[in-house]
C-alpha cells in the first residue's frame, strides 16, 4: 500500500498565514494516519516562485527575483517544521531538478501536438494568476476574490489544446465517481468540463522570471504550467539517484476550492497529454475563515500561524484546526477558540484523564498495572474502524470527534466507577485493578488513535503509562495495554498558559 499526498505549493509573494498552515497540517494528519496503517507514504509540500506577483514584489523591494525568493523561502520552509508536519520533501520551483523536468514535461505535450501559437487578449488577475472572463467579475469589474480590477494583457503566446481533452476528462469523471471529493466539488468540476473547455495559454512573453520553454526560449512557462508539474517533478529528484515516479505516482492532491479548476481540469488534461496517469484523487476543502472573513494576504487580516504555535504549541494548533470547522466545508473560527479548546478539551478532558489515571495507579497500586476484573467500557475495535473509514474519506473532523467521544467516555467511566471508593475496601481489589487497567488500556488506544493529530502528545501519553511507543494502528483495540510496573503520577500534558499581553 502506497500513499502519496501533496499540498498546493504556496506563492511566496508574502509570508505564510494560517490558511496555508491549515492545508499542510491536515495533510500531515492524513499521511501520518496512513503510515500508522502500514502504508509507504510520501508527503510533499513547497513553494511556487515563478508568479508575476512574486516578480513584482521582488521589484518593489529592489531585489532580483531569485534573491527575494531565497530570502522568503526561509519562513516557508519553517512552516511545516513548526507545525510538526513530517514532510518527505520541500519543493521550490526554482530547484534545478524542477526546472529541468518542467521543460521535459512541456516538451512532451508539445511533441504530442497539443501546443500551438496564438495571440491572446484578455483580462488577467495577478492575484489569481489567471485570465478572467467578464462574467467571472463583480458588477463593477473587479476580481471577486481579490477585489482589484484585472489587467488587460495582449500577447503572442503558446496555447495548450485543453478543448481536445473534454471527452477524455468527462470519461475519466464518469469512470471514477470518487475522483474529486467531496461530491459537490466533483459536480462543480464536472459541470465546468461539460460546459465546454477553452484552450489556455501556457507561456508568458513579457516576463523574464520563469522557466524558458524548450522550443521557444523567448517565452517562459506560465506559472500554472510550471507549478502543477511539481507534483511529478519532485519524485524525479527528491532522492538523488532515485526515480520515485514508479513507486508513488499517482498522487492524492489536497487543495482548497480557489484552485479547483487548475487541479481538477487543467492538470489531469496536461498529465494525459504528457503520457501520465491522472491523479489518484483530489480533495478540495473549504476556507478556514476567521470571524467570517477569508484569511488572505490581499485582505490584510492575516494571522501569523507561527505566533499561535509559539503560545499554544503545534499540537494545540493542529487540534484546533481539525476541530474548529468541519473539514471540507467553509467555516468560521475564532482565535479565542484555541484557548477554549486548549483549556477545556486538551488540558481538562485529555490531560486530566491521564493525570488522574496515573496518580490512581501510583497511589492505589504502587504503580503496578494488572488486568484485574472489569468489563471494558468502550469498544476500541469499533472506534478504530470508524476513524479509519472516516479518514479514508477525508472526514478529518469527524474522525477526531469520534476519538474525542472516547476521551469523554473514559472520563465518564472514572466518575461512574469512582476508583477512590473501590480503594476503600480490599474486597474490591480485583475490580479496582480492572478499572485501572481499563483506563490505562483506553488511554493507550486513544493515544495511538490521536497520534496523527497530536504527534507530540501521543508518545508522552504512552511513555507516562509505561507502554511501548509503537503507533501501529492495530494497537487501537481493547486489551493492547501491557501489565507494567512503575507508573508514576504524570506531569500535566497541557500546562496552564501565560498569555502574552495584548498589544
Q: Hey, which residues are catalytic here?
A: 17, 20, 125, 128, 143, 146, 294, 297
At 330, list the grid cell. 467553509
Identify which of 201, 75, 190 has the alpha carbon closest to the alpha carbon of residue 129. 201
* b/e map 268-283, b = 16+ CB within 10 Å: bbbbbbbebebbbbbb
Q: What is the side-by-side strand order in the sheet with 281-285?
A: 89-92, 40-48, 2-11, 252-256, 281-285, 180-181
C-beta of 49 vs 417, nearer to ligand MSP: 49
- Cβ at position 409, least distance to ligand MSP in Å: 31
- Cβ at position 441, least distance to ligand MSP in Å: 37
Give the interface with ligand MSP as residue ranges (CB under 6 A). 8-11, 19-20, 22-23, 48, 227-228, 230, 255-256, 258-259, 287-288, 294-295
- Cβ at position 418, least distance to ligand MSP in Å: 45
C-beta of 290 vs 490, nearer to ligand MSP: 290
The CA distances from residue 17 to 29, 288, 297, in Å, are: 19, 11, 8
C-beta of 331 vs 367, nearer to ligand MSP: 331
Identify which of 470, 465, 464, 458 has the alpha carbon closest to the alpha carbon of residue 483. 465
- Cβ at position 227, least distance to ligand MSP in Å: 4
- Cβ at position 210, least distance to ligand MSP in Å: 13
**Position closest to ligand MSP via CB:** 19
- Cβ at position 9, least distance to ligand MSP in Å: 5
In the 8-state DSSP scheme, what is residue 365? Answer: H
What is the H or E stretch that residue 389 is in? helix 380-392
C-beta of 233 vs 358, nearer to ligand MSP: 233
| 415 three-class SS | helix
C-beta of 228 vs 445, nearer to ligand MSP: 228
C-beta of 77 vs 371, nearer to ligand MSP: 77
Residues 6+ apart with CB under 8 A from 273: 108, 109, 112, 114, 160, 161, 165
Give the helix ranges, DSSP H, for 157-266: 166-175, 183-194, 223-227, 230-237, 245-248, 260-261
Amino acid at each position: 500500500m502506497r500513499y502519496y499526498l501533496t499540498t498546493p505549493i504556496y506563492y511566496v509573494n508574502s509570508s505564510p498565514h494560517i490558511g496555508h498552515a491549515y492545508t499542510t497540517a491536515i495533510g500531515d494528519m492524513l499521511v501520518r494516519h496512513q503510515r500508522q496503517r502500514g502504508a509507504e507514504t510520501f508527503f510533499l509540500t513547497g513553494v511556487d516562485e515563478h508568479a508575476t506577483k512574486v516578480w513584482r514584489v521582488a521589484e518593489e523591494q529592489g531585489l532580483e527575483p531569485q534573491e527575494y525568493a531565497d530570502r522568503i523561502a526561509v519562513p516557508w520552509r519553517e512552516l511545516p517544521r513548526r507545525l510538526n508536519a513530517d514532510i518527505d520533501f520541500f519543493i521550490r520551483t526554482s530547484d534545478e531538478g524542477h526546472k529541468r523536468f518542467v521543460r521535459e514535461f512541456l516538451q512532451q505535450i508539445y511533441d504530442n501536438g497539443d501546443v500551438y501559437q496564438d495571440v491572446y487578449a484578455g483580462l488577467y488577475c495577478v492575484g489569481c494568476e489567471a485570465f478572467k472572463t467578464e462574467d467571472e467579475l463583480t458588477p463593477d469589474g473587479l476580481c471577486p476574490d481579490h477585489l482589484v480590477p484585472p489587467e488587460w494583457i495582449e500577447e503572442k503566446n503558446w496555447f495548450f489544446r485543453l478543448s481536445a481533452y473534454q471527452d477524455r476528462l468527462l470519461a475519466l469523471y464518469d469512470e471514477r465517481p470518487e475522483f474529486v471529493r467531496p461530491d459537490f466539488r466533483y459536480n462543480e468540476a464536472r459541470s465546468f468540463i461539460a460546459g465546454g473547455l477553452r484552450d489556455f495559454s501556457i507561456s508568458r512573453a513579457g516576463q523574464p522570471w520563469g522557466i524558458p520553454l524548450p522550443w521557444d526560449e523567448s517565452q517562459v512557462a506560465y506559472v500554472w504550467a510550471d507549478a502543477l508539474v511539481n507534483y511529478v517533478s519532485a519524485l524525479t529528484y527528491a532522492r538523488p539517484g532515485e526515480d520515485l515516479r514508479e513507486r508513488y505516482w499517482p498522487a492524492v492532491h489536497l487543495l482548497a476550492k480557489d484552485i479547483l479548476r487548475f487541479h481538477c481540469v487543467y492538470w489531469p488534461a496536461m498529465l494525459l497529454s504528457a503520457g501520465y496517469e491522472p491523479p489518484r484523487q483530489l480533495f478540495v476543502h473549504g476556507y478556514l475563515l476567521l470571524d467570517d472573513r477569508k484569511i488572505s494576504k490581499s485582505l490584510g487580516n492575516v494571522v501569523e500561524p507561527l505566533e499561535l504555535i509559539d503560545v499554544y504549541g503545534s499540537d494545540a494548533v493542529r487540534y484546533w484546526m481539525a476541530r474548529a470547522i468541519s473539514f471540507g466545508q467553509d467555516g468560521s473560527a475564532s482565535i479565542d477558540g484555541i484557548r477554549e479548546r486548549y483549556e477545556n478539551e486538551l488540558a481538562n478532558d485529555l490531560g486530566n484523564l491521564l493525570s488522574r489515571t496515573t496518580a490512581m495507579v501510583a497511589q492505589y497500586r504502587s504503580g503496578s498495572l494488572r488486568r484485574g476484573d472489569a468489563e471494558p467500557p468502550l469498544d476500541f475495535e469499533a472506534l478504530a474502524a470508524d476513524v479509519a473509514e472516516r479518514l479514508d474519506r477525508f472526514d478529518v473532523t469527524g474522525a477526531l470527534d469520534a476519538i474525542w467521544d472516547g476521551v469523554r467516555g473514559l472520563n465518564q467511566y472514572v466518575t461512574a466507577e469512582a476508583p477512590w471508593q473501590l480503594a476503600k475496601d480490599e474486597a474490591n481489589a480485583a475490580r479496582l485493578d480492572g478499572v485501572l487497567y481499563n483506563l490505562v488500556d483506553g488511554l493507550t488506544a486513544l493515544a495511538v488513535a490521536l497520534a496523527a493529530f497530536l504527534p507530540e502528545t501521543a508518545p508522552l501519553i504512552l511513555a507516562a503509562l509505561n507502554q511501548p511507543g509503537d503507533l501501529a494502528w492495530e494497537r487501537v483495540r481493547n486489551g493492547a495495554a501491557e501489565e507494567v510496573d512503575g507508573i508514576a503520577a504524570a506531569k500535566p500534558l497541557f500546562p496552564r498558559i501565560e498569555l502574552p499581553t495584548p498589544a
